[in-house]
Amino acid sequence: MRAFKIERYGDKDGGHIADAPDPEVGADDVLVQIHAASVNPLDLKLRDGEFKAILPYRLPLILGNDFAGVVVRVGPAVTRFAVGDEVYARPGQDRIGTFAELIAVHQDDVAPKPATLTMAEAASLPLVALTSWQALVERARVQPGQRVLVHAGSGGVGTLAVQLAKHLGAYVATTASTAKVDLVKELGADVVVDYRKQDFESVLHGYDVVLDTLGGETLEKSLQILKPGGKVISVAGPPDAALARELGTNAVLRLAMSALSFRTRRRARRRGVTYSFLFMKADGAQLRDLTPLVDSGRIRPVVDRVFPFEETREAMEYVEKGRAKAGKVVVTMK
């Protein structure tokens, strides 16, 4: 098969398309012919080696973290899928590699593709939809009437999180640039803070949950707008010891990761709120819960641009340089 892979970490121009061995198919695996995959900031971080201490992939590495495609083979223990099924998924963290013609994925991580979506639209969803679900449903347990702030509402995670929070019955605020205000309002935001004109921490108060997708100063300011008992869940801030435990890292790394977030966690405690880092995980069952929301129109994908597979490196550069106007960037194999 053909695949887009990197030979070493940190080489921004080094990714290339080359031949690679077809995946091995285990007893519980489905082999999928990939039709489309989306580009995520995680791909850029993996390329640059930002997670090599906790995710020790073997190089050369095929990048790509979610996809949509068609099942072409099933393992002998597979019960949920058959050849010809259209599916989408975020593979487990140890089995990434969706910038390729084929991938083998455990059946537990796969879900039927939403019938109303094209392959490109479906491929834009798994990672950001699961991130939103695990932050708002699984961890924050958002209830009707609660106040939720989603940062960068026009981004990949933001466009899904705004819609999901609204579906859960929350009063939703988001931050966006002037040009994106109308879009995020269409997605369901009740309040939009134009970050070019206002500081969100001076406008918003008494929030129950913040989903932070930016980190840094934005994360620190987010602590100020929460009510006592509120939660900041970040996909961009410093990792914590809970993540290290999830990943099964050694004691030294657990201590180091805990130290990275110590200052933020201490500030949160002083305000009577909590901080946690979210590293989303593959989960086909959660995708199956999301699919009816997509097919009913309550949640819709936002796709900024589609690149052909041969331009995967250009697609990653497009994302890295912030050229996407809203939503996701997708690479199509077929």
12-27 pLDDT, tens digit each: 787 999 999 999 999 9
* 31, 139, 165, 292 from 74: Cα distances, Å: 6, 33, 36, 25
One domain for residues 12 and 23 = yes
In a domain? residue 293: no
CATH of the domain at 177: 3.40.50.720
- Interval 51-79: pLDDT, tens: 887 788 999 999 999 999 999 999 999 99
For residue 49, the model assigns a pLDDT of: 92
Domains of the chain: total: 2
In a domain? residue 252: yes
- Interval 226-245: pLDDT, tens: 999 999 999 999 987 777 67
Q: Are strands 147-150 and 67-74 parallel, antiparallel or unpaired?
A: unpaired
Mean pLDDT value across the chain: 95
- Interval 114-148: pLDDT, tens: 999 999 999 999 999 999 999 999 999 999 999 99
Cα 265 from chain centroid?
A: 23
Give the residue ranges of DSSP H helices in 54-142.
119-123, 126-133
Half-sphere exposure of 28 (CA within 13 A, CB side): 5
Q: Which domain holds residue 262?
A: 127-277
Asked if residue 159 lies in contact with residue 129, where contact means CB atoms within 8 angstroms, the answer is no
In a domain? residue 237: yes
One domain for residues 10 and 22 = yes
One domain for residues 105 and 133 = no
Give the residue ranges of DSSP H helices in the chain.
41-47, 119-123, 126-133, 156-167, 181-187, 200-203, 216-222, 241-247, 251-260, 262-270, 284-295, 312-320
Q: What percent of the chain has pLDDT over 90?
A: 88
For residue 244, the model assigns a pLDDT of: 67
Element (H, E) at 87: strand 86-89
In a domain? residue 270: yes
One domain for residues 111 and 131 = no
One domain for residues 325 and 264 = no
